[in-house]
Amino acid sequence: MASIFFKDTYIIVPAEPTWTGRFPLAEWDQVGTITHVPTVYFYDKPSESFQGDVVETLKNSLSRALFYFYPMAGRLRWLPRGRFELDCNAAGATFIEAESEAVLTDFNDYSPTPEFEKLMPQVNYKNPIETIPLVLAQLTKFKCGGLSLGVNLSHAVVDGLSALHFLSEWGRIARSEAIETVPFLDRKILWAGEPLPPFASPPRFDHKEFEQPPLLLGEKDNVEERKKKTTVAMLKLSKSQLEKLKSIVNTSKYADPARGFTRYETVTGHVWRCACKARGHSPEQPTAIGICVDIRNRMQPPLPRGYFGNATLDVVAASTSGELISNELGFAAEKISKAIKNVTNEYVMIGIEYLKNQDDLKKFQDLHALGSTEGPFYGNPNLGLVSWLTLPMYGLDFGWGKEVYMGPGTHDFDGDSLLLTDQNEDGSVILATCLQVAHMEAFKKHFYEDI
């Protein structure tokens, strides 16, 4: 792979003065993934109709975007008991300008590889959290005139929908258009920094996501599993393959005839079964799958349009490998569907109350899992599968046209998976999955042969 030359690094601050001060974060901001989530966009060479300077366009529009989304120009700050808050201090975002001898065709099908890392702005979590930008962007110019924009956004401040809201408005500003949706920034609507109102009746607690996920039978911890070498694959399901899977689950005895299983429930059930087979579990091996659920429209009343923050929570479906494999696909899909249906307004409130009452939140934060044996780990015998199926991911145009490819950056935790729509083919989906090297080929075999 051609080397990359880092030409310059800029600190981009809001274009105008913004509110400054300490900003309480909601409980869902402070648990799960609090590190940065990388995405990368590739663009063909800007056409002659684009008259501006690419670097200046991106820098100036980012500065304007940070005026509207001023929390993104701040920094996190640790508080006692594993909590943190947002210091809205206008410290700014990092913008890196780089050049590469590579050409776009070197990236083949754009599958995430270690080379992708060079296109992503790197975050050093050994630095104090108070010094780490919440937004880092890297523009890389290729020899052919093509471009890539790698973006790393802090998941402690935004979930996927809010991240894409920020990026789409950045693009809109770059095209000299007015922003479409003003962000709703007040997290007190999710009781950030405030006590919850009393429950009408004693709540029933059933939040498996706060428990440690199952270990391999015979093991006292997951230290050895965390050490094992992993690999990433991008696996496509065509529209006809997807329809075949949906037909299998929706004609099973587990299907709800009034509703049917969704695309996500169907594919996630299939992935869960295939992973159990590929990993060679014994039938009695407990296994769990982490599922990310958007709560914006599940709250009563629903969260305001443009709510900017984390409004997703992880729920867990659990079974044994033997049950999943010996039963038809509908069994796995039903487990996942029930876990999602459990997420009601009361369920969310109970979860918030539980977290508010915890002495320390560190055990729920992925930051402490990096290179260590602490923090949540959804590798063997478990999985985590996040859906990007309904996110407005594609079409980020800064004035020189829409991207030719957009996808996740590298992820190297065993069991870490994403489901996204295919940019180039209507009706098909792509599974981006990270598994142990020892399991990947068997997983691919089952993933396609079991359809």
Do domains 7-190 and 208-450 share one topology? The answer is yes
Q: What is the pTM of this model?
A: 0.93
Lowest mean pLDDT among 116-130, 188-202, 249-263, 362-376: 362-376
**CATH among 3.30.559.10, 3.40.190.10, 3.40.1280.30, 3.90.1150.10 for 7-190:** 3.30.559.10
- What angle do the packed helices 329-341 and 263-278 form, to 10 degrees? 120
Q: Calculate mean pLDDT across residues 172-198.
A: 94
Looking at 44, 397, 411, 422, which residue is catalytic? 397
Band of residue 120 on the pLDDT scale cut at 50, 70, 90: very high
Distance CA 376, CA 114 (A): 24
The count of C-alpha atoms lying within 13 angstroms of the C-alpha of 436, restricted to the half-sphere facing its C-beta, is: 18
Measured at the alpha carbon of residue 344, what is the angle toward residues 340 and 347, in degrees to the nearest 5? 95
pLDDT of residue 125: 92
Q: Are 381 and 287 in contact (CB under 8 A)?
A: yes
Distance CA 172, CA 289 (A): 37
Q: Calculate mean pLDDT across residues 258-280.
A: 97
Q: Are 165 and 307 in contact (CB under 8 A)?
A: no
Band of residue 426 on the pLDDT scale cut at 50, 70, 90: confident
Kindly tell me the sign of the dihedral angle through the C-alpha atoms of 418, 169, 179, 300. Answer: positive
Q: Is the peptide bond before 183 cis (omega within 30 degrees of 0)?
A: no
pLDDT of residue 212: 82
203 pLDDT more than 80:
no
Quickly list DSSP for 32-66.
B--SEEEEEEEEPPPPTT--S-HHHHHHHHHHHHH
Give residue-wise pLDDT tens across range 333-349.
Answer: 999 999 999 999 999 99
Looking at 36, 155, 165, 281, which residue is catalytic? 155
Distance CA 210, CA 239 (A): 36
Assess whether 155 carries a catalytic annotation: yes
Domain-by-domain residue ranges, the chain? 7-190, 208-450
410 pLDDT more than 80:
no
Assess whether 159 carries a catalytic annotation: no
Percent of the chain scoring above 90 in pLDDT: 80
The class of domain 208-450 in CATH terms is: alpha beta
- Neighbour-count burial of 73, counting CB atoms closer than 10 A to its CB (0-12 exposed, 13-18 middle, 19+ buried): buried
Distance CA 223, CA 445 (A): 28
Cα-Cα end-to-end distance for the chain: 36
Comparing 372 with 141, the larger pLDDT belongs to: 141
Give residue-wise pLDDT tens across range 360-400.
Answer: 998 888 765 555 556 667 899 999 999 999 998 899 999 99
Give the residues across from 137 on adjacent strands.
95, 151
Q: Calculate mean pLDDT across residues 247-255.
A: 95
pLDDT of residue 241: 97
